């Protein structure tokens, strides 16, 4: 009892020769179908190259076109020839010219001999397959497909749309339940004979010739009528990418293929010399006689498809430049923006660094230069602090910074004194944690010794800018984690909001803050605001600071750090 | 894109093709071995001038990659470049003494030669100081890539220019013929690039890197473009528009994914900043044959005069393509 191979060949004939020879000399009959499109000269040379082998035969040639009935017709002819010419064959294995056996033939034979009645064919109902190309699954069986998908895509699509519009539906022959699956199967003589000698074969053929990609459904459907024992998987390791084209194996996959313990793999790049020379041997030492386990290869290819379809979040580069809304994450990691903290607290950056670690920058969008942590002039990835370069593309500056510092939390200060172009981007980025103390920009003005006319003008300008920025943060399009306090609110009870922010940044830390940042002196701040009002300006963003009731005076009285239990 | 602007681009493409037809008269064949090109050969196109010292490594690199035939235009070299090229068995060489600038920096000449010889071939268009890196280039020849692109119905492949530089002064170490230039210039910038979309041609316009960082930090819009599409399955109706930055028809410029995914892409390692660069930039200032009145060279000349280095503490040392992939400068896409 043995296994016979059917090989469908259309190019890389020299490789097909080597594989056919390998199987034939190992005692397995091979029937080869060569595409009619291969020219006569090449075909003759190919046939002569295998002429010395008695158990290699060539079947009637068909002109094969992808996605059409011709592939099934070719398979049928070759399968009939195997069954008729080699009565000792119990299993027929369908392979292609770009298949490569990974394990000694003896092991395959042994494997099949211990499962004499099992048909190995992937066969799944249409409802359960996620991998159909072009969005056609059930419709493969109910529409007509007279146009080539590869050559006349436009007509193909148009005709499908027309049939959908008219509500056209073909009747599926009674008793058939459409199943789909990999084209590459290994069937028993009984099942295959039953399918090929079915009294209704002609009727089924009439139906399947108009089905789209019948090579993935003809045998897969009919096998359900006859088989005693279906093992719904392919013995051929064959992976498809998101466009439905097979992944290709190269020399550098050698170890991966070896460890997969699969019997046959496709598709092999014809010039993968090392694969062909390594695997075309019956050396039993190369495998462990284990069950096929393509898990590692599955993961590799699944990752590749994911890279192609979803990409790396927060990366903008030459071959990934998503349209707005399609970024899968505008930036690659969470980061924190602090507005008004540096103004209200003394040495806030140092305090923040002690509390959460990571990188604490100054005002990255300062008009003069990007104030990187530690006063660096160039930062990770070679990002310079030049304001001109940053303002040339502020989004790129931000996304580059977050990408370059992957794995390390970034915090930076922002305020109405900074370049505002980035506002919308920050607000709409779910990775941004934005905490704002409104009106805190007034504190440095309050402490400055400039003349009051200048201060009044400056205050009015900053307030206008911040109000606009707050409108953005409060817009319904905002996706960032935004927290806004007025300065008056914050000054009342600074520890609680700080604790919330810190916990969110470093959730695992869960340390209680032991040391509060030191608040700037605010004695007379209420009067300062009143003076602004007296000059005709209306400072409203900082909340209510009644004249004479200085809240900060209480915090300034403490001489030792403020402890919270 | 409306019918009118689409038609305008078509007219523009015809104009560039006519121009290439006219400029063909400037080219004189020196060694025409194009008869030896086989149907599925991968071709390389390049224009050069006085690059004798770079040639041995250039040919070694690209022959190892699996380039089958080189089609080159020598723009009036007088340092033995021409003689060297003429003697190579896989080079077809044309020569001209006409203006590089007026041939739109060599594009017209190459457009003509590509129209003539590249039809139906995968063709790589690079400068003599550009070294093509693609996913798996250490284990798979370029034919593996082009076969995969063919199978995926992809006609063009993007490769961003990555400027490489030495750790010390640019001219501190002398480059010797045959040596790997990236043993000297082994550093690059990994994450300071900006991207804009060119709505007319559909390509991305990438700037940044060490040149933007050191020479153009106060006028970033003038920083040189780094986006390139060097590998194309050529059709005689195609044309490069400006260097290898963009092509017509514009569909060829769509080498990036717009829906969040990543297409496969490579890099061109740029071995510009070697000791030869300092002399060259002085010479080019006189010749005025380069882009935008050699503005770039003027900036370099000012910047590099006092032994300045392009190196900074965040420079990355080049290891291999996987490193570039992890850093996000290129992508495997769905090639595995």
pLDDT tens figures, A47-68: 999 999 999 999 999 999 888 8
**Using a CB-CB distance cutoff of 8 angstroms, which residues of chain B are in contact with residue A326?**
258-260
Nearest to A268 by CA among A224, A243, A236: A236
pLDDT at A506: 80
- Cβ atoms A109, A2 nearer than 8 A: yes
- What is the enclosing helix (H) or strand (E) of A401? helix A394-404
pLDDT reported for residue A554? 44
Q: Which residue carries 């392979």 as its tokens?
A: A95
Cα–Cα dist B149/B145, whole Å: 6
pLDDT computed for residue A289 by the predictor: 65
Nearest CB to A378 within list B159, B206, B314: B314
Taking 80 as the threshold, does the pLDDT of residue A549 lie above it? no
What's the rounded Cα separation, in Å, for the pair A431 and A261?
A: 43
DSSP structural state of residue A284:
G
Nearest C-alpha neighbor of A365 from the set A482, A463, A469, A448: A469
**pLDDT score for A553:** 44
Mutation site for B-interface testing, chosen from A244, A317, A331, A421 by largest number of B Cβ within 10 Å = A317
CB neighbour list of residue A222: distance below 8 Å, 6 or more residues apart: A176, A195, A198, A204
Phi, psi of A495, rounded to the nearest 5 degrees: -70, -40
**For residue B215, is it within any domain?**
yes
- Structure-block tokens of residue B334: 């769905």
pLDDT of amino acid A557: 44
CB contact under 8 A, B227 and A383: no
**Strands A89-96 and A2-9, how do they pair?**
parallel
- B31 at the A interface (CB within 8 A)? no
Q: C-alpha dihedral over B108, B110, B113, B114, to 10 degrees?
A: -110
- Indicate the DSSP class of residue A177: -
**Could you tell me how far CA B70 lies from the centroid of its own chain?**
14
- Are B165 and B187 in contact by the 8 Å Cβ rule? The answer is yes
Tell me which fold the domain A2-128+175-309 belongs to: Spore Coat Polysaccharide Biosynthesis Protein SpsA; Chain A (3.90.550)
Minimal C-alpha gap between B31 and chain A (Å)? 31
Q: Which pLDDT score is estimated for A555?
A: 46
ipTM over 0.95: no
Angle, CA A16 vertex, CA A10 and CA A18 arms, to 5°? 165
Band of pLDDT at residue A148, cut at 50, 70 and 90: confident
Q: Which of B251, B301, B272 is nearest to B188 (CA)?
A: B272
Chain A partners of B257 at a C-beta cutoff of 8 Å?
308, 311, 319-322
- What pLDDT is attached to residue B276? 84
Cα gap A544→A192, rounded to integer Å: 88
Locate the domains of chain A by residue range: 2-128+175-309, 335-557
Number of C-beta neighbours around residue B175 at 10 A: 21
pLDDT of residue A242: 77
Which pLDDT score is estimated for A152? 85
Contact A303, A239 (CB under 8 A): no
For the stretch A335-377, pLDDT in tens is: 999 999 999 999 999 999 988 888 999 999 999 999 999 999 9
Q: What percent of chain B has pLDDT above 90?
A: 70
Give the start-end residues of each E strand in B185-265: 187-188, 193-197, 204-208, 231-233, 239-242, 246-248
- Determine the distance in angstroms separating the CA of B53 from the nearest CA of chain A, rounded to an integer: 31
B333 lies in some domain: no
Q: Does B72 fall in a domain?
A: yes
In the predicted model, is pLDDT for residue A241 greater than 90?
A: no
pLDDT digits (tens, 9 = 90+) for A489-546: 999 888 889 988 988 888 766 566 777 788 888 888 889 999 999 988 899 898 888 7
Minimum distance, in Å, between the CA of residue B189 and any CA atom of chain A: 5
d(CA B212, CA A537): 44
Q: What is the mean pLDDT of residues A385-406?
A: 94
Chain A residues within 8 A of B260 when measuring between CB atoms: 309-311, 320, 322, 326-328
Angle (CA) A483 A487 A488, round 5°: 120
Alpha-carbon distance of B127 to A347, in angstroms, equals 52
CA separation for the pair A43, A36 (Å, rounded):
9
pLDDT of residue A524: 87
Strand duo A335-339 + A432-438: pairing: parallel
Paired strand residues for A378: A384
CATH architecture of A335-557: 3-Layer(aba) Sandwich (3.40)
Q: Roughly what angle, to the nearest 10 degrees, separates helices A40-49 and A13-25? A: 20
DSSP string, A492-530: H--HHHHHHHHHHHSTTT-PPP-SPPEEPP-TTHHHHHH
Q: Which domain holds residue B277?
A: 3-327
Place of tokens 């790396």: A312
pLDDT at B142 over 90: yes
pLDDT reported for residue A556: 44
* DSSP-assigned beta bridge partners for residue B194: B207
Q: In this structure, is residue B149 part of a structural domain?
A: yes
At residue B48, what are phi and psi to the nearest 5 degrees?
-155, 165
Assess if residue B336 is contained within a domain: no
CB A99 within 8 A of CB A235: no
Q: How many domains does chain B have?
A: 1
Which tops the pLDDT comparison, B191 or A140? B191
What angle (nearest 5°) sits at the alpha carbon of residue B178, between those of residues B173 and B180?
60
Q: Contact A247/A241 with Cβ under 8 angstroms?
A: yes
Q: How far is B165 from chain A (nearest CA, A)?
A: 13
Counting one residue from A and one from B, how many pairs have CB atoms under 8 Å apart? 176
Partner residue facing A327 (CB), from B217, B260, B330 = B260
Determine what percent of chain B falls in helix, strand and coil, rounding each to the nearest 5.
35, 20, 45
Q: Does B224 touch chain A (CB under 8 A)?
A: no
Checking if the pLDDT of B273 tops 70, the result is: yes
Residues of A whose CB is below 8 A from B191: 380-383, 400, 403-404
At B40, list the tokens: 């599925």
The residue among A470 and A128 whose pLDDT is bigger is A470
Residues 299-318 of B with CB under 8 A from A: 312-315
Crossing angle (nearest 10°) for helices A189-196 and A218-226: 110
Q: Which residues of B touch A389 (CB under 8 A)?
A: 192, 194, 212-213, 216-217, 220
Q: What confidence tier does B75 reach under pLDDT thresholds 50, 70, 90?
A: very high
Q: How far apart are CA B90 and CA B35, in angstroms?
A: 11
Distance in angstroms (rounded) separating the CA atoms of residues A504 and A511: 12
Q: What is the pLDDT at residue A36? A: 93
Residue B2 main-chain phi, psi, to 5 deg: -75, 170
If one counts every other C-beta atom within 10 angstroms of the C-beta of residue A364, the result is 25
Burial class (CB in 10 A: 0-12, 13-18, 19+), B262: buried
Residue of A nearest to B223 (CA): A389
Mean of pLDDT values over B169-177? 88
Segments in chain B forming alpha helices (H): 3-23, 55-65, 81-86, 107-117, 142-151, 209-214, 275-287, 291-304, 321-327
Hey, what are A41's tokens?
């000269």
Average pLDDT score over chain A: 88
Integer Cα distance of A443 and A487 in angstroms: 10
* pLDDT for the residue numbered A558: 45
Question: Does residue A218 have a pLDDT over 80?
Answer: yes
Q: What is the pLDDT of residue B292?
A: 59
Residue A486: predicted pLDDT: 93
Give the Cβ contact number of residue A524 at 10 Å: 16
Give the range with max mean pLDDT: A218-222, B97-101, B263-267.
B263-267
Cross-strand bridge partners of residue B159 = B266
Above 80 in pLDDT, residue A133?
Answer: no
State whether residue B263 sits within 8 Å of chain A by CB. Answer: yes
pLDDT attached to residue A551: 56
Q: Is the pLDDT of residue A565 over 90?
A: no
Q: B68 falls in which pLDDT band (50, 70, 90)?
A: very high
pLDDT higher for A68 or B232?
B232
Q: Which has more pLDDT, B99 or B268?
A: B268
Nearest 10 degrees: Cα torsion B146, B149, B154, B159 = -70
Nearest to B90 by CA among B30, B37, B143: B37
User: Averaged over A419-440, what is the pLDDT?
Assistant: 94
Residue A134: pLDDT band with limits 50, 70, 90: low
CA atoms within 13 A on the CB side of A441: 26
- Is the pLDDT assigned to residue A127 strictly greater than 90? no
Which residues, other chains included, contact A146 with Cβ-Cβ below 8 Å and sequence gap of 6+?
Answer: A159, A210
Residue A76 has pLDDT above 70, yes or no: yes
**Quick one: pLDDT band at residue B182, thresholds 50, 70, 90?**
very high
């Amino acid at each position: 009892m043995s296994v016979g191979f059917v090989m469908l060949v259309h190019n890389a004939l020299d490789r097909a020769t080597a594989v056919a020879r390998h199987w034939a000399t190992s005692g397995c009959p091979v029937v080869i179908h060569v595409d009619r499109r291969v020219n006569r000269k090449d075909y003759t040379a190919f046939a002569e190259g295998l002429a010395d082998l008695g158990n290699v035969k060539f079947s009637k040639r068909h002109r094969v076109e992808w996605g059409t009935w011709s592939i099934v017709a070719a398979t049928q002819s070759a399968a009939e020839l195997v069954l008729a010419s080699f009565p000792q064959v119990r299993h027929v294995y369908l392979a292609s010219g770009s298949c490569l056996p990974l394990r000694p033939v003896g092991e395959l034979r042994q494997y099949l001999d211990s499962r004499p009645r099992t048909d190995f064919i992937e066969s799944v109902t249409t409802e359960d397959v996620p991998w159909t190309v072009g969005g056609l699954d059930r419709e493969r069986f109910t529409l007509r497909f007279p146009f080539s998908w590869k050559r006349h895509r436009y007509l193909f699509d148009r005709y499908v749309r027309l049939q959908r519009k008219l509500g056209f539906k073909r009747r599926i022959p009674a008793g058939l339940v459409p199943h789909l699956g990999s084209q590459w199967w290994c069937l028993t003589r009984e099942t295959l004979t039953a399918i090929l000698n079915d009294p209704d074969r002609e009727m089924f053929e009439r139906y399947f010739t108009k089905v789209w990609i019948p090579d993935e459904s003809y045998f897969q459907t009919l096998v359900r009528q006859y088989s005693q024992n279906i093992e719904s998987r392919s013995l051929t390791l064959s992976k498809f990418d998101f466009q439905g084209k097979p992944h290709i194996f190269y020399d550098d996959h050698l170890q991966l293929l070896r460890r997969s313990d699969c019997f046959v793999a496709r598709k092999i790049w014809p010039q993968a010399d090392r694969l062909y020379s390594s695997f075309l041997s019956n050396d039993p030492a190369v495998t462990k006689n284990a069950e096929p386990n393509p898990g590692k290869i599955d993961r590799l290819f699944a990752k590749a498809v994911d890279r192609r379809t979803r990409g790396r979040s927060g990366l903008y580069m030459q071959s990934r430049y998503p349209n707005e809304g399609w970024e899968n994450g505008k930036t690659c990691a969470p980061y924190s923006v602090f507005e008004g903290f540096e103004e209200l607290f003394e040495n806030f950056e140092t305090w923040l660094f002690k509390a959460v670690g990571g990188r604490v920058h100054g005002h990255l969008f300062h008009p003069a230069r990007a104030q990187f942590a530690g006063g660096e002039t160039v930062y990770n990835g070679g990002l310079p602090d030049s304001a001109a370069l940053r303002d040339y593309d502020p989004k790129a500056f931000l996304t580059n910074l977050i990408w370059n510092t992957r794995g390390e939390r970034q915090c930076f200060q922002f305020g109405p004194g900074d370049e505002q172009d980035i506002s919308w981007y920050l607000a709409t980025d779910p990775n941004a944690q934005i905490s704002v103390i409104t009106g805190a920009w007034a504190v440095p003005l309050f402490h400055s010794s400039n003349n009051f006319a200048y201060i009044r003008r400056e205050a009015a300008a900053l307030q206008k800018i911040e109000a606009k920025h707050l409108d953005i943060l409060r817009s319904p399009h905002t996706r960032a984690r935004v927290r806004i306090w007025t300065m008056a609110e914050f000054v009342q009870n600074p520890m609680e909001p700080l604790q919330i922010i810190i916990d969110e940044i470093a959730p695992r830390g869960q340390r209680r803050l032991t040391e509060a940042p030191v608040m700037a002196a605010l004695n007379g701040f209420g009067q300062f605001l009143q003076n602004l009002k007296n000059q005709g300006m209306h400072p409203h963003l900082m909340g209510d600071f009644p004249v004479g009731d200085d809240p900060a005076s209480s915090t300034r009285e403490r001489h030792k750090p403020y402890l919270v239990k | 894109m409306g019918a009118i602007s689409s038609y305008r681009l078509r007219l523009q493409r015809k104009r560039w093709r006519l121009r290439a037809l006219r400029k063909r008269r400037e080219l004189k064949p020196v060694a025409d071995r194009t008869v030896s090109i086989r149907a599925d050969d991968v071709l390389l196109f390049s224009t050069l001038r006085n690059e004798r010292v770079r040639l041995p490594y250039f040919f070694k690199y690209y022959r190892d990659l699996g380039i089958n035939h080189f089609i080159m235009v020598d723009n009036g070299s007088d340092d033995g470049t021409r003689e060297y090229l003429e003697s190579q068995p896989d080079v077809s060489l044309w020569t001209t003494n006409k203006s590089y600038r007026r041939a739109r920096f060599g594009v017209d000449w190459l457009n003509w030669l590509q129209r003539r010889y590249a039809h139906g071939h995968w063709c790589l268009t690079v400068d003599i100081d550009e070294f093509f890196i693609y996913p798996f280039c250490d284990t798979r020849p370029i034919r593996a890539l082009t076969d995969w692109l063919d199978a995926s119905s992809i006609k063009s492949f993007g490769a961003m220019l990555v400027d490489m530089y030495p750790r010390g002064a640019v001219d501190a170490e002398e480059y010797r013929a045959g040596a790997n230039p990236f043993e000297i210039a082994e550093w690059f910038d990994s994450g300071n690039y900006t991207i804009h979309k060119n709505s007319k041609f559909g390509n991305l316009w990438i700037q940044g890197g060490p040149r933007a960082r050191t020479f153009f930090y106060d006028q970033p819009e003038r920083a040189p473009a780094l986006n390139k599409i060097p590998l194309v399955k050529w059709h005689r109706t195609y044309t490069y528009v400006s260097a290898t930055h963009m092509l017509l028809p514009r569909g060829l410029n769509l080498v990036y994914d717009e829906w969040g995914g990543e297409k496969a892409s490579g890099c061109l390692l740029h071995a510009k900043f070697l000791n030869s660069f300092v002399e060259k930039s002085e010479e080019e200032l006189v010749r005025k044959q380069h882009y935008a009145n050699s503005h770039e060279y003027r900036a370099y000349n000012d910047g590099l005069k006092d032994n300045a280095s392009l190196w900074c503490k965040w420079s990355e040392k080049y290891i291999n393509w996987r490193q570039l992939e992890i850093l996000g400068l290129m992508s495997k896409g769905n090639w595995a």
